[in-house]
Amino acid sequence: MAACKGPIQRRQLMETNMSGIDELDAQLRDFANLSPEQQDQVRRRVIGRAEAMRAELIRNLFRRLVTWVRRRKAVAQLQAFDDRMLKDMGITRGEIESAVRGCDRRRGMVASVHQRAAC
């Protein structure tokens, strides 16, 4: 599995993709005036971008599905505990969903799963 990209890397990648899109957009607007070889190159680039976007969409859907399944499992495990055990962990039965999502209503902040696990 590929390493996660940080916010700076994602922004640089997006800026690179956007400049490529602007160039491709200009070529598409002038498509009829391009030579047959240039038109073929533009077609290949459009198809390549579509394939990349489809792959990214599938990856994102898969990540969301995995996250949803993990959260459902965590909620089920916490709901199996009695109220005393939940109190020992610092949550009530009504806070289980929020705790699993990483939202701490009492502090008014959102914590990542890793931050919550470290507590």
Q: Show me where the domains of the chain are located.
A: 7-80, 82-119
Instruction: To the nearest 10°, report the CA torsion of 19, 23, 29, 32.
Output: -160
Q: In this predicted model, what pLDDT tens digit does every residue of 65-117 receive, in sequence order?
A: 999 999 999 999 999 999 999 999 999 999 999 989 886 555 544 454 444 44
According to DSSP H, which parts of the chain are helical?
7-29, 36-79, 83-89, 96-101, 113-118
Confidence of residue 13 (pLDDT cuts 50, 70, 90): low
